[in-house]
Amino acid sequence: NAGVTQTPKFRILKIGQSMTLQCTQDMNHNYMYWYRQDPGMGLKLIYYSVGAGITDKGEVPNGYNVSRSTTEDFPLRLELAAPSQTSVYFCASSYYQKKTQYFGPGTRLLVL
């Protein structure tokens, strides 16, 4: 009963480095989402995908890229990491846009 899984759980990056946050769901959900949560705040949508090969920007897409080559996977790429990208990143999925979103455990990222 895996649901939505994310790796890594925690990562420290130096300014200017790049990394990919992995997200996989085994519920055959069409929709997948990436959020960031800054301390003491609610979630902000970075990117979302309505199916394999289709992605779109959310509220805060700058500094990130995504791809969706399969239904199961939705990786988030950070290029040229900046301290402002220090946050907790959540991946979520839903069957379609009107259905409940289910979340992964999150990735805590620290950029120094």
Q: Which residues bind to another protein, rule: CB under 8 A?
A: 33, 40-45, 48, 56, 58-59, 88, 90, 92, 97-98, 100-106, 108
Least distance (Å) between residue 64 CB and another protein: 16
- Cα angle, residue 21 at apex, residues 17 and 24 outer, rounded to 5°: 165
| CB closer to another protein, 3 vs 17 | 3
Structure-token match 């790429």, residue found: 77
**Cα separation of 84 and 49, whole Å?**
24
| CB closer to another protein, 38 vs 79 | 38
Least distance (Å) between residue 37 CB and another protein: 9
Residue 112 · residue 14 · CB < 8 Å? yes
Least distance (Å) between residue 49 CB and another protein: 12
**Cα separation of 32 and 50, whole Å?**
7
